[in-house]
Structure 1
């Protein structure tokens, strides 16, 4: 949809300036929406491609900027400290997602009461962590989220029991092992939220990213187009169930 609304939105958390974006259908007003949280590489072309795909389905999107200043790290040496800073201060981590949620709710294109969080890799971890700590979203969809970033001792009692969770992950993802999946499941059961795990065979981390097709560590990170298509279909279905229940 080449005529989609695309507008940068500045917002902040504590002393950090964020530059998110609204991507929405032309003329959208108070539309059901998606809070899109980027992967470890920041808010870049891949995330805008996801946002445009959601717009074609009729949703308005607020793309978050968790790193701040639209930072787009290019190497693991840059990514590691950014993720480490969030994991070591979970209040700041979820506060940045919450700031994006608040900014999304202020945009005329989006209905703040009808928002679902969707995250990829680091973003998938982020939407789960935000829901766990009380973020009031209609749902949280984690696509190859790093479950290793979640606190195995975490308390899920603050999670909104009316939320819905979809976790799409690879059976061979070393960042989302069977033990880590079991721990997350136990937390979701504690929270009494509606949850679903889609587990894909012969699938590793970052399976939706075509750039991962040339990964130097294919045993860790690898593109899998079939699993990517399945996760997109699952995402579309759950969004329809949550945001368009009459049409689901």
Structure 2
């Protein structure tokens, strides 16, 4: 009997003890202190692929942290990045718009802050620095697409209901990352013209990309708080469980191809 108990302990104790490691991390880009959230599960392996999670325009909130934890449960070390600095966030559209414009209105600032987060993640001992990807939601989706356009060294970028328009389209041969765009077909923030322009841009650049439209899905379709936030800010936001689940599965499929052996 004691041998059976010992065998059970050897086989199952690591799984019973496994838990997510969560760490609030401060890092810098220029003079700005950025406050990220790092999470991983060391039971998933010693050298894990890394994934950067870029928040919606509300800032690095609990939703972005939740997505980072979900990635850690899949075997990735995830860093939810702070694009605004000092962990600024809001649930008011006017404040969020001001935060966003403060970043996007300065040439090179978004990339500087993104690269600072990438450097932090790549330097973690449990991360395979050669396998780093990025996902983003809304503002974050546009951010990761722009990083791919600029040739940032990433295995893949995935945009969930992100803006597609850009003033700096990708040049031929510049895009290194696999690109997956997951869009709501009923998203009034993304026009048919911008979709057409994006596809033409990707074709001219020779990018390896996929564009998926989810019928009936509106802006922010992955966020369960979208209806509440939309109502409070008089914005056409809505959660869509089907599109949420299907888009997360599409992300996993791509990551299985490019990040896992």
Same fold (TM > 0.5):
yes
Two-structure CA RMSD over aligned residues (Å): 2.0
The residue correspondences of 1:147-226 to structure 2 (distance < 5 A) are 147=164, 150-151=165-166, 153-157=167-171, 160-214=174-228, 215-216=230-231, 220-226=236-242
Residue deviations 1:136-186 (CA, integer Å, cap 9, x gap): 100110001122xx32x4231276444200000011112211111111212
For 1:20, the equivalent position in structure 2 comes to 36
Deviation at 1:221, TM superposition (A): 0.9
Q: Which among 93, 116, 119 is matched to residue 76 of structure 1?
A: 93
Q: CA deviation at 1:87?
A: 2.5
**Residue 191 and residue 42 in structure 1: after superposition, are their counterparts in 2 closer, same or farther (change >3 A)?**
same
> TM-score w.r.t. structure 2 length?
0.86
Asked if the contact 2:140–2:159 (Cα under 8 Å) also holds between the matched residues in 1, the reply is yes
Larger Rg: 2
Structure 1 residues not aligned, in runs of 5+: none
1:73 is displaced (CA, Å) by 1.6
For 2:259 and 2:26, locate their aligned partners in 1 and report how far apart those are by CA, in whole Å: 26
For the residues of structure 1 that align with 2:178 and 2:163, how far apart are their CA atoms?
A: 19
Task: Choose which of 125, 130, 138 in structure 1 pairs with 2:155.
Answer: 138
CA distance in 2, matches of 1:135, 1:208: 26
Aligned equivalents of 2:173, 2:128: Cα separation in 1: 21
Q: Tell me, in whole angstroms, the C-alpha distance in 2 between the residues paired with 1:102 and 1:41.
A: 24
1:46 alignment counterpart: 63
Deviation at 1:77, TM superposition (A): 1.6
Q: How high is the TM-score relative to the length of structure 1?
A: 0.91
- More helix, by proportion: 2
In the alignment of these two chains, the number of paired residues is 242
Aligned-pair distance for 1:220? Answer: 2.0
Secondary structure of the structure 2 residue equivalent to 1:210: coil
Determine the structure 1 residue equivalent to 2:8: none
